[in-house]
């Protein structure tokens, strides 16, 4: 977690001038965030977030990310809205990198999510999926099923450095997922990374969704599977079915889960656990200990995966179909 790109006051003032936002009053680096550099900017016109896109973000994907936020915001989803400069551009350059300004959202992310948070999250996720219909741009999921085995191949010979049984576990699970992955599920734009630190609340009221830089087109129910992994396990890695029930109830109250989606959710949850197990394992082995970003323990997702492997149906996640 860090600011990767430092910028001077003069560079910042020059950057914001074409936006017509008044004078620069203050600028503070935001420590949270892994992929990009973020600053909280205050001008005489208000507060904004400045994002400088680092090397892991493909420039060709930026119109999708920024366009999606505009599309969702126009349809009632509370998310950062890209600010256009006087020439109508949302993307400019700063310190030799692509950069954009977006509106600032009030709220805090829940360090210890409660049942009430999970209910609100489910509703917001379904609203986002519905609002994403007819978005004209498309982006394939670079971290979906087709990308998992190539990613594993990059570190498989070193997997034992994390855990002696990790290589066998991943190899066996990838074979299962390759043969069992569901097809013909409802598709659309998904967030793909809706962890608690990307969801803001004021009290128990959800105030906005942020960080759309993994958003892509994929099965809508896969987004739910990501959230079950991210929100419904306790610190001891036990699955909290009450939180799972709230998340799924909230979602189903806005967008009804189809029978094929309900049937597929256990496999999708295994896939979501695998996706984060793979990326965390790769980063664990390839991020220097002196790096600015704190490594995340991949074994956390081994424990989640083990739980999902024992799941029989969506009922094990607490789901109770609406009547």
* Contact criterion met (CB below 8 Å) for 143 and 192: yes
Q: Selecting from 3.40.30.10, 3.40.718.10, 3.30.200.20, 3.40.50.1000, what CATH number does the domain 9-103 have?
A: 3.30.200.20
Closest CA to 171 of 267, 265, 278, 282: 278
CA dihedral 291, 194, 131, 117 (to 10 degrees): -140
Residues 6+ positions from 165 with CB-CB distance below 8 Å? none
pTM more than 0.85: yes
Return the SS3 of 276: helix
* Contact criterion met (CB below 8 Å) for 246 and 119: yes
Q: Where are the domains of the chain?
A: 9-103, 115-317
Residue 255 has a pLDDT of: 98
Which residues face 41 on adjacent strands?
27, 48
* Contact criterion met (CB below 8 Å) for 87 and 48: no
**Residues 89, 91, 95, 101: is their CA dihedral positive or negative?**
positive
Cα–Cα distance measured from residue 13 to residue 223, given in angstroms and rounded to the nearest whole number: 39
Cα–Cα distance measured from residue 9 to residue 13, given in angstroms and rounded to the nearest whole number: 6
* Contact criterion met (CB below 8 Å) for 309 and 176: no
Residue 169 has a pLDDT of: 98
Residue 1 has a pLDDT of: 41
* Contact criterion met (CB below 8 Å) for 44 and 61: no
Predicted confidence pLDDT, tens digits, the chain (323 residues): 456 788 888 899 999 999 999 999 999 988 766 678 899 999 999 999 999 998 778 899 999 999 999 999 999 999 999 999 999 999 999 999 999 999 999 999 999 999 999 999 999 999 999 999 999 999 999 999 999 999 999 999 999 999 999 999 999 999 999 999 999 999 999 999 999 999 999 999 999 999 999 999 999 999 999 999 999 999 999 999 999 999 999 999 999 999 999 999 999 999 999 999 999 999 999 987 766 667 789 999 999 999 999 999 999 999 987 65
**Residues 59, 65, 68, 74: is their CA dihedral positive or negative?**
negative
Kindly write down the DSSP assignment for every residue of 171-187, as one continuous string.
HHHHHHHHHH---S--E
Cα–Cα distance measured from residue 233 to residue 244, given in angstroms and rounded to the nearest whole number: 9
Residue 33 has a pLDDT of: 61
The domain 115-317 belongs to what CATH superfamily? Aminoglycoside phosphotransferase (APH), C-terminal lobe (3.90.1200.10)
What are the Cα distances from residue 123, in Å, to 79, 106, 319? Answer: 15, 19, 14
Residue 54 has a pLDDT of: 87
Kindly write down the DSSP assignment for every residue of 280-291, as one continuous string.
HHHHHHHS-TTS
Cβ neighbours of 28 (radius 10 Å): 11
* DSSP code at position 195: -
């Amino acid at each position: 977690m860090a600011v990767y790109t430092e910028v001077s006051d003069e560079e910042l003032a020059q950057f914001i001038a074409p936006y017509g936002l008044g004078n620069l009053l203050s600028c503070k680096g935001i420590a949270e965030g892994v992929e990009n550099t973020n600053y909280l900017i205050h001008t005489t016109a208000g507060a904004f977030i400045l994002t400088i896109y680092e090397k892991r973000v493909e420039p060709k994907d930026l119109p999708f990310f920024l366009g999606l936020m505009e599309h969702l915001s126009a349809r009632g989803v509370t998310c950062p809205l890209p600010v256009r400069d006087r020439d109508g551009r949302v993307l400019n350059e700063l310190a030799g990198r692509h950069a954009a300004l977006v509106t600032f959202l009030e709220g805090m992310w829940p360090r210890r999510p409660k049942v009430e948070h999970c209910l609100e999250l489910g509703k917001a996720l379904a609203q986002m999926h519905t609002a994403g219909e007819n978005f004209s741009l498309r982006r394939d999921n670079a971290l979906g099923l087709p990308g998992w085995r190539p990613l594993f191949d990059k570190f498989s010979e070193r997997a034992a450095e994390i855990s002696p049984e990790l290589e066998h576990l991943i190899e066996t699970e990838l074979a299962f997922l390759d043969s069992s992955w569901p097809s013909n599920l409802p598709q659309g734009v998904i967030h793909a990374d809706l962890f608690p630190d990307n969801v803001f609340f004021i009290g128990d009221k959800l105030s906005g969704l942020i960080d759309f830089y993994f958003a892509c087109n994929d099965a809508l129910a896969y987004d739910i599977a990501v959230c079950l992994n991210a929100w419904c396990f306790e610190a001891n890695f036990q699955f909290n079915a009450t939180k799972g029930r709230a998340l799924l109830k909230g979602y189903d109250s806005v967008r009804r889960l189809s029978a094929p989606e309900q049937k597929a959710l256990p496999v999708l949850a295994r896939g979501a656990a695998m996706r984060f197990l793979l990326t965390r394992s790769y980063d664990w082995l390839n991020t220097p200990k002196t790096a600015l970003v704190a490594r995340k323990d991949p074994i956390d997702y081994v424990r989640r995966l083990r739980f999902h492997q024992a799941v029989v149906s969506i009922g094990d996640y607490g789901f109770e179909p609406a009547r």
